[in-house]
Structure 1
Amino acid sequence: MTGHENLWMRPERPARGPRPSFSRAALAQVAIGIADAEGLEAISMRRLAADLGAGTMSLYRYVTGKDEVFDLMLDTVVREYLPEDRPPPDDWADGLRLLAWQARRTMLRHPWLAPLAAGRVQVGPNSARLTETALGMLDGLGLSVDEMLALVGAVFAYVNGYVQSELAEGEALRRSGLTLAERLAQHLSYIQSLIATGGYPMLERVTKEGGRQYTAADDRFAYGLDRLLDGIAAALPPAAAEGPKSTG
């Protein structure tokens, strides 16, 4: 096999050689379990082989190395973006909103997913199905393929960035051993000193008026996502433009 040939173009069971003792799907599930519990850095070919009860070299009959293991992991969890028990909504905005919420839930279940997905081209059968589904939601709105790709990319970039920030904030609090209120209290004196200079009127408004709306992570995510979809709707060709319906 060559490292330049697509993983899914290679047969899982070679024409010659020993009969495979497990599958790529099993390999992906083991890798996902390790990453969920210990992070991507815990994944190695030796560790995967040990957890599978196989020899390390036997893994190379399935993948060329750890990079393809990551491809398998990504494509496996992408399937969770598309629930099997419900068809996509007819309204394009409701459809993209559903995908965005499913993606966020998936990324929160698998904390390694957002940073890994941000830096890789996603290929594979589930990734292809996700692309087909997302573009199909925008088809017929008078957009070019490049415009549809850009809009879908913007939605997933929003989700990915939001989740990475969400996870990073949670990890920072965990390491500090403080609550969010305690962490903010550490900086209160400095913030007050800035406000006292008279040069930070908006910061003063934040301290006096902030914290009344969108205090929950879900609420902030929903608000930002709805405004993004509003912007997409406003830029659609006139004949196709219909404002997104907020579901909260």
Structure 2
Amino acid sequence: MRPEHGTRGPKPTHGRRDVAVAGIRIADAEGIDAVSMRRIAAELGTGTTSLYRYVSKKDDVLELMGDEVMGELRGTTLPGDWRADLRTIARLLRETALRHPWLPSLSSGRANHGPNSLWWTELSLSAFDGMDLDTDEMLANLSTLSAFVLGHVLGELGDQEAARRSGLTHEQWMEQQGEYGPSIMNSGDWPRLTRVMIEAKTPHAADRQDRLFEAGLARVLDGLAAHLPPRK
């Protein structure tokens, strides 16, 4: 709601969106901790003090960045069936968070009420149109879905970070376990885990993250279905 720039002084070279886009470029490449007013100013080729013509503090920049990313989802249409709608929402949130690994740390906090975020919230709530649900129930359903997506994405990002630190792919890491796996299975102390280690196929699959996400999402939607009335 603030004016894009003040009425005094020369016309600004950049706008708030430029600041947000520059912050996103830095965060995507180096992580959210690398984002600072000085770095953004350097990215835009301007002085640090000039940024305060557009924003008052770094938290403003982070909000603008989060809302700008949600703008990538503009144009999304939902199928019109609640289960398909929520599945679409979950998949898009996962894809967006994986493109911008810093996003979960922002979205897990207070809600962003920028124009793109408001649009996304309105679209998400439309998945429950025609149902006899009160607003708290709608929020509980969306919060449950969001928590699942966020938890899964954090696991994926953690796996990527472990690969980066160690220099080992998932397959190389599993091979490196050497005799430790057989020692677990041969001890006889962990029969349930041993069965998983012998029989489970998903941990070895190249698309294991996709499989785990889709399996978990199906179970979340089944759980929500138990609390949802039919559409009128």
The reply to whether TM is greater than 0.5 is: yes
Amino acid at match of 2:82: W
Is 1:75–1:126's contact at 8 Å kept on the other side of the alignment?
Answer: yes
Q: 1:74 aligns with which of 52, 66, 77?
A: 66
2:133 to 136, 143, 148: 143
Amino acid at match of 1:46: R
In the alignment, the residues of structure 1 paired with residue 203 and residue 187 of structure 2 have an alpha-carbon distance, to the nearest angstrom, of: 27
The counterpart of 2:199, out of the listed 178, 184, 209, is 209
Report the equivalent of 2:93.
103
Q: Which amino acid aligns with 2:211?
A: D
2:52: which partner in 1? Answer: 60
Looking at structure 2, the residues matched to 156 and 182 of structure 1 have their Cα atoms a distance apart, in angstroms, of 32
Q: What secondary structure sits across from 1:219 in the alignment? A: helix
Q: In the alignment, which of 36, 42, 64 is matched to residue 34 of structure 2?
A: 42
Structure 1 residue 30 displacement after superposition: 0.8
Q: CA deviation at 1:13?
A: 2.5
**Shift in alpha-carbon separation, 1:100–1:140, aligned structure 2, 3 A:** same
Question: Does 1:25 find its partner at 2:17?
Answer: yes
Specify the code of the residue in structure 1 equivalent to 2:21: Q
- Shift in Å, 1:232: 0.7
Give the structure 2 partner of residue 158 of structure 1: 148
Q: Distance in 2 between matches of 1:145 and 1:165?
A: 30
CA contact (8 A) 1:138 1:148 kept: yes
Matched, 1:198 2:217: no
CA contact (8 A) 2:74 2:116 kept: no
Q: Which runs of 5+ in 1 are unaligned?
A: 1-8, 242-248
TM-score, structure 2 as length reference: 0.91
Identity of aligned residues (%): 48
Alignment correspondent of 1:177: 167
Equivalent of 2:3 in 11, 16, 20: 11
Alignment equivalent of 2:114, drawn from 110, 120, 124: 124
Distance 1:148 1:214, change over 3 A: farther
Checking the alignment, whether the CA contact within 8 Å between 2:171 and 2:204 is kept in structure 1 is: no
Superposition deviation, residue 41 in structure 1: 1.6
Unaligned runs of 5+ in 2: none
| Corresponding position of 1:227 | 219
Aligned to 1:245: none
AA in 1 matched with 2:215: Y
RMSD across aligned positions (CA): 2.0
How many pairs were matched up?
230
Give the whole-Å Cα distance in 2 for the aligned partners of 1:152 and 1:185.
Answer: 39
